[in-house]
Amino acid sequence: MFNEELRIFNPEDVWFTSDTHFWHENIIRFCNRPFSSIQEMNEELIRRWNETVPEEGVVFHLGDFAFGRAKEWNEVMFRLNGKIYLILGNHDMKQMKQGFMQRFEHVTQQMTIRVGGQSIILNHNPFLTYGGCYRNTWQLFGHVHSGPLSDQGKDLTRLQVLFPRQYDVGVDNNDYRPVSFLQVKTKIEEQIRKAEK
């Protein structure tokens, strides 16, 4: 349940996202999201997701999928493209007993995958340190709601101490849509170049 065995995926088939917070009205104000209502936010997040991810794509959602009960979750999740793996976030924990969790390919608290030869640790929270951090292992996370419009997160200043191989895949940091493996690779390579200067 906690640290899943290594799984291997094709680079062209993989996307990452986090902190969609479907049905969470206060997240609009908290993160300065450019939406006038919860309905507008939900519809725009769904539209951008499906515009980005093909029907057979693989999506790793790194937590805080939605608020509400099974009814609200079901109204969203059956409209999203892709095979979705859910890494549980702090707001997802109370939903674990709901039958709709079986809609996901897999639900866990942490997962290690390999994509195109790249080892990646997936977790909802950024780690101060992790296995492989001094080698080439990436750690992808959400939770912190970083991004160009989000300036109120309590954890934002702590991101300055992260390794260049860590990246926030949350929607607030990625144009409110999932980000592909190849996009993350480019972003991490850029972070590594900046850190080496």
Q: Domain map of the chain by residue range?
A: 4-196
Instruction: State the burial class of residue 176 (Cβ atoms within 10 Å of its Cβ: 0-12, 13-18, 19+).
Output: buried
pLDDT in tens, 42-75: 999 999 999 999 999 999 999 999 988 778 888 8
- Weakest-pLDDT range from 48-62, 96-110, 132-146, 147-161: 147-161
pLDDT at 1: 41
Q: In the structure, what pLDDT confidence band is assigned to residue 95 with cuts at 50, 70 and 90?
A: low
Fold adopted by 4-196: Purple Acid Phosphatase; chain A, domain 2 (3.60.21)
pTM: 0.91
pLDDT digits (tens, 9 = 90+) for 180-194: 999 999 999 999 999
User: Where do the DSSP E strands lie in the chain?
Assistant: 4-9, 14-17, 58-61, 83-87, 106-108, 110-115, 118-123, 138-141, 166-168, 179-180
Say if residues 129 and 165 touch (Cβ distance below 8 Å).
Answer: no
Burial of 147 (0-12, 13-18, 19+ CB in 10 A): buried
**Average pLDDT of 92-100?**
66
A 10 A CB-CB count for 186 gives 12
Rounded to whole angstroms, the Cα distance separating 182 from 89 reads 24
The H-or-E segment that residue 185 falls in is helix 181-196
Nearest CA-CA partner of 114 in 185, 191, 11 = 11
